[in-house]
């Protein structure tokens, strides 16, 4: 017998729950189906939010042949064989088959490279699904040929609708005497994951005999599911909760908590590269200029993990994590680029000062491009007092240093060079 999640899998967009920003009346995915103009695309989002289901609905709605590979157990040979099948199944004027690759982030560079030609020449339309940021995990050549769509955790009201629909419509559950008295615990354990929600509901119902009346309450759900969901689920909500707790413990300068959450992730089977990537980000975002060596060490840890692997890699991660948590903190670099981007969005393409513009032609020189520019290295202390911002932004202060030893030294230098321009 199929699991409840499979039995309840939607067949059409009208039955699809969630992701209204993509499949609603004006959603881009709905429009591609209506216009029968299906591009290669990547679905990025947490588990159980409909990535695989949406790919199948697209294929069915567009009357496309559907090939499904899972990156965990597929290799280059499997990719080539599938592409060969796609070529053989293409008839005169027939639309491209859809090749769906689940967990595409787990494909190596060579595996992703093997997809390029067939995607580029239209042998297949690729739909990839990933729980990881495709900017980091999908090669740029393949990413540039795909439209990326972000899927979100299911909302509480959507999860409630799924529970009620399953009890009322599923061919097996609708024959049972089930009363949904409370639903909060089911929603909590699901973590916004539709597949996990159905699994939870099925686990609770399976505690009863066929003819028994079932009254679903929060206490019942807690009692049945508590021990089954204690361990870390690296593909579910706990994946994001533990990563969040880990980063916030580093930011909070608590090495003990940092190591605890690191151990939770390691014991749960988390990808070491995922952990190291989070530490590189923390080194720049939360430590930054207070200790520039943190970014160097985090990068070195990432590189070392790639060379050493596990289980020894846990020692490397422990060293980096302790150092980051114990390090002084500053988010001035993060705040500065955030402010700079905000200014750019508000002011648009402000004219670059003429003296900063390149002048490769005589015409540009006649237009004063590069005029009055002075080469800093020819001046005393390798510094020249020029205006580098656009004229309309000349008084704008973007970088604001914070109170730590390293940035205090930077403050002193900037004050000495610029005087009142850099007041912190």
pLDDT, average across residues 206-231: 80
Peptide bond into 311 cis (omega under 30): yes
The pLDDT assigned to 231 comes to: 45
Task: List the strands of the sheet with 66-70, edge to edge.
Answer: 66-70, 98-102, 125-130, 41-44, 147-150
pLDDT, average across residues 278-305: 94
pLDDT, average across residues 309-331: 93
- Name the percent of the chain lying above pLDDT 70: 95
Please answer whether residues 23 and 33 qualify as being in contact, where contact means their C-beta atoms are separated by less than 8 angstroms: no
pLDDT, average across residues 319-343: 91
| CA 253 – CA 291 distance, rounded (Å) | 13
Read off φ and ψ for residue 164, nearest 5 degrees: -65, -40
Other beta carbons within 10 Å of 222: 13
pLDDT in tens, 16-65: 999 999 998 889 999 888 888 889 999 998 888 899 999 999 998 888 88
Domains belonging to the chain, first-starting first, are 18-150 (3.40.50.300), 156-229 (1.10.8.60), 237-326 (1.20.272.10), 351-421 (no CATH)
pTM of the model: 0.57
pLDDT, average across residues 260-278: 87
The pLDDT assigned to 232 comes to: 43
pLDDT in tens, 226-240: 655 544 455 455 667
370 vs 158, higher pLDDT = 158
pLDDT in tens, 79-113: 888 888 888 776 656 778 889 999 888 888 888 88
pLDDT, average across residues 358-387: 82
């Amino acid at each position: 017998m199929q699991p409840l999640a499979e039995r309840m899998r939607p067949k059409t967009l009208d039955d699809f729950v969630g992701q209204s920003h993509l499949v609603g009346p004006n959603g881009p995915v709905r429009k591609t189906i209506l216009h029968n103009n299906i591009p290669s695309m990547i679905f990025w989002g947490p588990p159980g939010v409909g990535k695989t289901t949406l790919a199948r609905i697209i294929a069915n709605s567009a009357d496309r042949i559907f090939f499904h590979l899972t990156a965990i157990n597929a290799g280059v040979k499997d990719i080539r064989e599938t592409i060969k099948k796609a070529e053989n199944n293409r008839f005169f004027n027939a639309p491209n088959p859809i090749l769906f690759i689940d967990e595409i982030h787990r494909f190596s560079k060579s595996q992703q490279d093997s997809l390029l030609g067939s995607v580029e020449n239209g042998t297949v339309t690729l739909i990839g699904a990933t729980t990881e940021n495709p900017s980091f995990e999908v090669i740029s050549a393949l990413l540039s040929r795909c439209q990326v769509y972000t899927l979100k955790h299911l909302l509480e009201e959507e999860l409630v609708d799924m529970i009620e629909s399953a009890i009322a419509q599923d061919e097996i559950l609708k024959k049972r005497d089930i009363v949904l008295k409370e639903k909060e615990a089911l929603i909590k354990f699901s973590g916004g994951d539709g597949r996990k929600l159905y699994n939870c509901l099925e686990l609770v119902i399976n505690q009863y005999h066929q003819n028994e009346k079932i009254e679903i309450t929060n206490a019942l759900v807690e009692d049945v599911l508590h021990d089954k969901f204690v361990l870390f689920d690296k593909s579910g909500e706990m994946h994001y909760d533990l990563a969040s707790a880990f980063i916030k413990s580093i930011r909070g300068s608590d090495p003990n908590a940092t190591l605890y959450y690191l151990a939770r992730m390691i014991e749960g089977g988390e990808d070491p590269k995922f952990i190291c990537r989070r530490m590189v980000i923390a080194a720049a975002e939360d430590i930054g200029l207070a200790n520039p060596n943190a970014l160097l060490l985090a990068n070195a840890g990432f590189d070392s993990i790639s060379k050493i692997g596990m289980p020894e890699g846990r020692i490397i991660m422990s060293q980096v994590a302790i150092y980051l948590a114990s390090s002084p903190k500053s988010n001035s670099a993060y705040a500065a680029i955030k402010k700079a981007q905000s200014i750019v969005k508000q002011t648009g393409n402000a004219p670059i000062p003429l003296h900063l513009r390149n002048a490769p032609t005589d015409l540009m020189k006649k237009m004063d491009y590069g005029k009055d520019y002075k080469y800093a290295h020819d001046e005393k202390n390798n510094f020249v007092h020029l205006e580098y911002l656009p004229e309309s932004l000349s008084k704008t202060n973007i970088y604001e240093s914070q109170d730590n030893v390293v940035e205090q030294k930077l403050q002193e230098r900037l004050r000495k060079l610029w005087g009142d321009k850099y007041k912190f």
